[in-house]
A and B are shown apart, each in its own frame.
Chain A
Amino acid sequence: MSGLPLLPSILVDMIGSVADICFAFLAMRYAFLLTRKQPENFVWGYLFYICIAISAFSISRATGHLVKQFLLLSGNIDIWHTISPYTGGFNTLMLISVSAVTLFYHKGVQTHQVIEQKARKLKDANRRLEEAAREMKELNLHLEEMNTHLEEKVRERTAELSRSEEKFRHLFSASKDMVYFCNTDQDIIDINESGLEMLGYRPDEHPKLNLHDVFNNEGELDTFFKAMKRDGYIKDFEAEFRRKDGSVINVLLSATAIKDDQGNIVSCEGIAKDLTKVKTMMEQLAASEKMASVGQMAAGVAHEINTPLGIILGYAQLMMDDFDEDSEPYQNLKVIERQTKASRKIVADLLKFSRQTGSARENLNINEVLHDVVAVTEHNLSLDHIRVHMDLADNLPPVVGDAEKLRQVFVNLINNAHHAMQKQGGGEIFIRSWYEPESGEVVVEIRDTGHGIPEDVQARIFDPFFTTKPVGKGTGLGLSVSYGIIQDHGGTIEVESPVKNPETGEVMAGTAFRIRLPEAKDPEAVLEK
C-alpha cells in the first residue's frame, strides 16, 4: 500500500501531548513560586496567569488529542465525533484566552512600570527624606555636641573670669593703698576699704565723693587733670587729700585715664599711697640729723666754754677769800660764782645732750625707775591737784641703761606735764608701761591732760634751747637732754598731741610721750662705759 504511515505522527501526538501538559505545569509551578517569592511583583503574577492559561490550553488540547487517539485506537470513532466539537470548541476558547492574556501583557507591564516608576520615585524620595532625617539627626547630634562643648567652654570661661574677677577683687579690696575708679564727672564710683579708711570713713559707709572733695589743693587738682588730659596718666604725683574730719594726709598718686574708641576720657582709675607716716618719719629723720649736728656743735662749744668757766669760778672763789663776807666785793664775787656755776650746769646739760658724758650701764627694771620718779615728784604734783595713775605691766623684761639718766628723763617729762597742767589748776598724769614682743621693746608712756602742744611746735620741742616757757623759767634743754639720753640708750622718744585712743579712736586733749627702749639681750650682764 502506497502512502505515508501516520503512526509516527500518532506517537508524536500522544507523547507530545503528555510532554505539553508536563512542561506547562512545570512552568506554572515556577511561575507560582516566583509569585510566592515576590508577591508584589506584577510581572511574575502576569506570567503566572499566562502559565495558567497555557496549562489550561495544554490540558484542553492535549487531553483532546489523547482522548481522540484512545477512542480511535479503541474503534469508538462515533464517540469521538460526538465529543470532538466540544473539545475543539473548548480548545478554541482556551486559545483565545491565552491570546487575550498574552495581548495585555505589554499594557500591563507598561502600567506596572509606571506604577513602579512612581513607587521608585516615592521610594527614592523616602530614602532621601530618611537620609535628610539622618543627616539632620547627625547635625542635631553635632549641634548638641557643639552645644555641650560650648556650655563647657562657657563654664570654663566663666570660672576663669570668676577666678580672675575674684583675684582682682581681692587685690582691690585687700590692697593697703587706696584704689578708686571715677567717672567723667570726677565722681568716685568705686573705692576700696583702705581708701575709705585713708579718708576717714568707715568701710560700711558709702559716701558720695568727688575728686574736688578729696583733693585739698585746687592747684594740685588742676595739675592732675592737665596731666590726665595731656598724657592719659599721671605717676608718683604727691598730693594732699582731705579726710572726712578735715585733716590732711599726704599721698603719692598714680592714675590712668580710660578712653573710648574716639580717644575721649570716659573714666579713670587710680592708686594712692598714704605718705603721711613716711613724711613724718622723714621729718623726724631730718630732725635727728639736725639734733645730731646741733649736739656736736653744743659739745664743742661746751668744751670750749667749760675751761674758761672753770678758771672764772676758780679765780672768783680765790678772790672771795680776800674779802669779808659782808663787803660789797665779796657779794659781787658771790654773784659771779653763782652765775658761773649756773653756766657750768648748762654746759653739763649740753654735754649730756651730746652724750659726751660718761654713763653707767646695767640691767634695769623700768618699773622700779618709774616708781622712784613718782615717789620723788608725787608730793609736788599733789600740791597742784595733779593725780598720777600708774598702769605698769608685770614681768617686764629688763632694759640696759643708766638708771640715773633715765630717772632724769622721766622727771623731765613729768615736770613738763606738771607745768602744762599747772595753769588749769590740776589734771591727771597716766603712766603706763608694756612690752611689745614683736619689736622686743619696752614702752613707757607718760600722758597728761594738759593743753597739749601745737602741731607747729611739735617738730621743734627736742631742739636745744627751744622753750615756750617765760624767760628764766626754763633753759630749753630738758627735752633735748632727754632726747639725747634715750638716743644714747638705743631707744626712741615720740610725742603725740592731741592723743588718740587706739582702742576707741577717741581724740583726747593733752600730750603723750612714748619712750621705747630695747630689752636687754643678756638679762644678767652689767656694762660699764
Chain B
Amino acid sequence: MKSALPSVRTAAGAFFGLCFFFLALPDAAWALQSHGPPEGIYIHQMAHIFFFGSLLYLYRDLCHTSEKDQGWRYLRWFCLLMLCWNVVAFIGHAVTFHLSEEHIANASSYLHSRLLGPMDATKILFYITRFDHVLIVPALFFLYRGLRTLYAQVDETGKAYEHRESSA
C-alpha cells in the first residue's frame, strides 16, 4: 500500500497541472464557446417554452382535482392564464427581435412614443403583446385567490387537502 501512494499523487499532480496550463492559455485551448448577443434572447425564449411546458404539466395535474373545489379551480385558471401569458410573451419577444428602434418614434418624450406605421402583422403583434399584463396580472390574482380560498377552506383537520387527495 505504501509504495502505491506516490504514483497516485504524481498522476493527480500531472492532471491538475495540465488543467491549469489550458486555463492560463484560453486562446490556444479552443474549448471555450463564445456567447454572442442573440444567445440571451434565445435562452429567454427557451425559458418561456420550459415554463410553458411545466405549467401545462401542472395544469394537467390540477385537472385531477375536484371541480367543486373553488381553490383548486382558481389555481387551474392561474395555469391557463399563465400559459396564455407565456405564449403572448414568447410572441412579444419574437416580434421585438425583428423590430428595430426606427419603428418607434420618440418625438418629445418617452411617454409620447409611438409605433410608426405602416402597420403590419409584426407591428400589430408587437403592439398587442406589450399588453401582456392583461394576462399575467389576472393570473397572479387567481393564484392569490386560489391560495386564499384554500386557506379559508382548510380547517384544523386539513379537510381541503384531504378532499383533493381523495379526488386525485
Chain A residues engaging chain B, CB cutoff 8 angstroms: 1-10, 12-13, 15-17, 19-20, 23-24, 26-27, 30-31, 33-34, 37-38, 41, 43-44, 47, 51, 54, 58, 69, 72-73, 75, 85, 88-89, 91-92, 95-96, 98-100, 102-103, 105-106, 109, 113, 116
Instruction: List 8 A-B residue pairs with CB atoms under 8 Å apart, sorted by A's residue number.
Output: A6-B113, A30-B144, A43-B161, A92-B40, A95-B48, A98-B54, A99-B54, A102-B58
| Chain B min CB distance to A5 (Å) | 5
B40-A103 in contact (CB<8A): no
- Known contacts A1-B105, A6-B130, A89-B40; is A95 also within 8 Å of B47 by CB? yes
Q: Is B168 interfacial (CB-CB < 8 Å)? A: yes
Residue from the set A8, A95, A99, A116 with the largest chain B CB neighbour count within 10 Å: A99
Interface 0/1 of B98-125, CB less than 8 Å to A: 0000001101011111111111000100
B150-A34 in contact (CB<8A): yes
Q: Which residue of A lies closest to B55 (CB)?
A: A102
What 5 pairs across the A-B complex have the smallest Cβ distances? A16-B133, A23-B140, A9-B130, A30-B147, A103-B54
Q: Is B21 interfacial (CB-CB < 8 Å)? A: no
A3-B58 in contact (CB<8A): no
Q: Which residue of B lies closest to A13 (CB)?
A: B133
Q: How far is the CA of A7 from the CA of B104 in the complex (A)?
A: 12
Q: How far is the CA of A98 from the CA of B150 in the complex (A)?
A: 21
User: Which residue in B55, B137, B151, B156 is a CB contact (below 8 Å) of A19?
Assistant: B137
Residues of B146-168 at the interface with A, using a CB-CB cut-off of 8 Å, are 146-148, 150-151, 154, 156, 158, 161, 164-165, 168
B158-A47 in contact (CB<8A): no
| Chain B min CB distance to A194 (Å) | 84
A-B CB contacts (within 8 Å), total count: 158
Contacts of B44 in A (CB 8 A): 88, 91-92, 95
- Known contacts A13-B130, A26-B144, A106-B61; is A2 also within 8 Å of B151 by CB? no
A19-B133 in contact (CB<8A): yes
B114-A3 in contact (CB<8A): yes
Q: Is B50 interfacial (CB-CB < 8 Å)? A: yes
A34-B130 in contact (CB<8A): no
Chain B residues engaging chain A, CB cutoff 8 angstroms: 40, 43-44, 47-48, 50-51, 53-55, 57-58, 60-61, 104-105, 107, 109-119, 123, 127, 130-134, 136-137, 140-141, 143-144, 146-148, 150-151, 154, 156, 158, 161, 164-165, 168
A3-B164 in contact (CB<8A): no
Q: How far is the CA of A38 from the CA of B141 in the complex (A)?
A: 23
A54-B143 in contact (CB<8A): yes
A103-B53 in contact (CB<8A): yes
Q: How far is the CA of A352 from the CA of B115 in the complex (A)?
A: 181
B43-A92 in contact (CB<8A): yes
B131-A12 in contact (CB<8A): yes
| Chain A min CB distance to B117 (Å) | 5
B161-A38 in contact (CB<8A): yes
A106-B110 in contact (CB<8A): no
| Chain B min CB distance to A92 (Å) | 5
A34-B131 in contact (CB<8A): no
Residue from the set B48, B57, B143 with the largest chain A CB neighbour count within 10 Å: B143
| Chain B min CB distance to A267 (Å) | 76
Contacts of B168 in A (CB 8 A): 109, 113
| Chain B min CB distance to A158 (Å) | 56
User: Which residue in B116, B133, B158 is a CB contact (below 8 Å) of A12?
Assistant: B133
User: Which residue in A4, A105, A113 is a CB contact (below 8 Å) of B115?
Assistant: A4
Contacts of A4 in B (CB 8 A): 114-115, 119, 123, 127
Q: How far is the CA of A34 from the CA of B51 in the complex (A)?
A: 25
B47-A92 in contact (CB<8A): yes
A27-B144 in contact (CB<8A): yes
- Known contacts A13-B130, A13-B133; is A6 also within 8 Å of B47 by CB? no
- Known contacts A23-B141, A26-B144, A85-B40; is A2 also within 8 Å of B117 by CB? yes
Q: Which residue of A lies closest to B48 (CB)?
A: A95
- Known contacts A1-B105, A7-B111, A99-B53; is A20 also within 8 Å of B136 by CB? yes
B137-A16 in contact (CB<8A): yes
Q: How far is the CA of A41 from the CA of B143 in the complex (A)?
A: 19
Q: How far is the CA of A88 from the CA of B47 in the complex (A)?
A: 12
Contacts of A17 in B (CB 8 A): 133
Q: Which residue of A lies closest to B155 (CB)?
A: A37
Contacts of B123 in A (CB 8 A): 4
Q: How far is the CA of A256 from the CA of B110 in the complex (A)?
A: 135
| Chain A min CB distance to B113 (Å) | 4
